[in-house]
Structure 1
């Protein structure tokens, strides 16, 4: 069935390949989001023939001014980024994962509406190591010293703490190949999950050591996405190159609660920030989709096919329905999405049956 309930509000062509979008979760800046870029630059005059460069783009949307690019920061190539769920010292904080094993921490200056680099941290690994994913420990809990979980291209999962600086706490070796994703179980952040190119979906409990307490082998290809549900205890989701979205009860990891075949390979899964019953799925060459999980059988209830070349990034806006109504067209949600080689960023309005 063709679903046409996701309509483009704005589009933007990025200079570099686009691979991640993240909306600010905090008032008064829920109309802001960041788009991250990753570009291989050929160097014809050197034997070291390529460099990985990136840009961090800060955007706003407004009913009168539309989509505005507020800031461009030249960086190393970026693979993932996440806003801290809670403000820290009254600032919105963004963590950025990049090449050369770096994690950068930015704060949003509310007066200038610009991102300012606060701190940087280099993972203790070989120079070519890439930091592939990030998550914050603040999905449910308010913490004075929040933790950041990141995964890398050597199969490791690193635990950092943000205090006066960025401090390393622990490293877990989880996967033989790239650890594409790592995430906290928000209800108890002693528990962490990771997924790798070895098709393993691992669960760790920091209280009992550095070895995984469960090794799930249900995925038929690399595990690329994970998100803990902040409203329903024990519920988490995973996605894979095998094109399936899976729901899990973390107490019974042998068999998934539910599974849905998608139109393409999964890269990112995000619970909606309102009811936490819908998943936004970036399916690479298979489009961007919204999945309803609040029934016996999961189903796709919204689809977006404007991206022609590897949709890596997608995220829900935190703008409430009343604010979304101010923008053109039908719909109670606003999302953004981006794709790689066509360098396309889109902001769209989603209309779902109530």
Structure 2
């Protein structure tokens, strides 16, 4: 699919501890609430003159809760709460309210699964611990996923959790005052089980990936003593998996081998597509409404939005967000209403002239800023930063006037705008708000992404 894209950084926040997970609340009335989780190793303290202690490091964590206000042009993200806790490895909101409250599940470094309920109003809310359950001793809980039966109906709410000893734990939520019952627990991988995820179209099927480079499929209706399938298609540890919530039989997986694979779950001998993203794929997230858009956290290569249209052996990368200065770990799409377009009149005109070869074509190219980047230079460890706009070659691009004060279009482009109105080459722009976070520079970015699909030729 041909598309024009543009990204705009809205706010950058210093999380102090290393940031590795961020999640927007999926419930419609709470879509402006954003959570961010952190993981920080603290060395044991030693007195002056003493050798460094051999005691183990302490894994510290902090949970941040934010409110996003789209109407605020500057600094739209406001911190609502921060909680000190064990280091956070993964977290996800339940897609249904539990006992009337949005609920956030956290997998932590103490081998526990914690549930936090959200209370209050959207502008003044907080989370409180509702449940803490240990899933294993002397291990780290590494990942979790919810199954709420939204795609098949009639299924109880379940959680699948993976840990650093290679095990999977299947838990079921019981009662109005929720409790978690362990349905089964089994050894799934020889090393760390980095990721576990449900098939959203069949709550009995679970996928897992481990540091043994294996992607495995499990049927939980019986004690899962052996997998339905073990794939060695990835050449390194499998650390991200997500079932497509819009299209049945579509699965995305990612690995330290820097590849995103798409699978047809009805036939998993070979993946449908293989995309190299130049960095280990720590997290994958399907778009909330568009079945073909996939967000990938690519560790050393930043964050990427892939067009998974199943028309080729490799998915086109529509946009790469590379403004983080460290490992790209946490990523999520917000489920917010559409917002005003980022695209200017000049850019719309440029889009209307994709095949023109004329004296004005070079001028048109200069007006199209889709290949320019905001480069952020941090003054760590504070949250202050400088912003510079540069083009693909690294040349400085002077700041432009605000959109409402743009100069009139050149004559050769004015006609193009009228042509767009009459016979547009692109569909109306659509936009999404995203949150991404990076590890060693402990930064959370909130940004907008806008895209226009090319209309098929008549």
Query: What range is the shorter-chain TM-score in?
Result: over 0.9
Partner of 1:116: 128
Q: 1:342 to 1:236 in 2, by over 3 A?
A: same
Deviation of 1:165 after TM superposition, in Å, equals 1.1
Retained in 2: the 8 A contact 1:158–1:171? yes
- Indicate which of 416, 439, 450 corresponds to 1:340: 439
- Indicate which of 330, 334, 338 corresponds to 1:317: 334
Greater helix share, structure number: 2
Moved over 3 A (4+): 141-145, 322-325, 328-331
Partner of 2:279: 264
Equivalents in 2 of 1:209, 1:49: separation in Å?
A: 36
TM-score (norm 2): 0.73
Partner of 2:197: 183
Retained in 1: the 8 A contact 2:13–2:443? yes
Retained in 2: the 8 A contact 1:120–1:166? no
Partner of 2:83: 73
Partner of 2:347: none
1:194 and 2:208 matched: yes
Partner of 1:252: 267
Computing the radius of gyration over CA atoms, which structure comes out larger, 1 or 2?
2
SS of residue matched to 1:28: helix
Equivalents in 2 of 1:205, 1:212: separation in Å?
A: 7
Equivalents in 1 of 2:430, 2:278: separation in Å?
A: 23
> What per-residue deviation string (whole Å, max 9, x for no partner) do you get for residues 228-287 of structure 1?
111111111100111111111112111111111112110000000012211000000110
Segment of structure 1 superposing worse, 64-73 or 316-325: 316-325
Unpaired segments ≥5 residues, structure 2? 47-52, 343-401, 404-428, 454-458
- Indicate which of 47, 53, 57 corresponds to 2:60: 53
Deviation of 1:29 after TM superposition, in Å, equals 1.4
RMSD of equivalent CA atoms: 1.9
Equivalents in 2 of 1:94, 1:86: separation in Å?
A: 11
Greater strand share, structure number: 1
1:146 and 2:157 matched: yes
> What per-residue deviation string (whole Å, max 9, x for no partner) do you get for residues 119-172 of structure 1?
10001x332x00000100025356684111010001111101122312211112
1:352 and 2:353 matched: no
Partner of 1:229: 244
SS of residue matched to 2:285: strand
Retained in 2: the 8 A contact 1:5–1:303? no
Deviation of 1:4 after TM superposition, in Å, equals 7.2
> What per-residue deviation string (whole Å, max 9, x for no partner) do you get for residues 298-318 of structure 1?
110011011111010000001
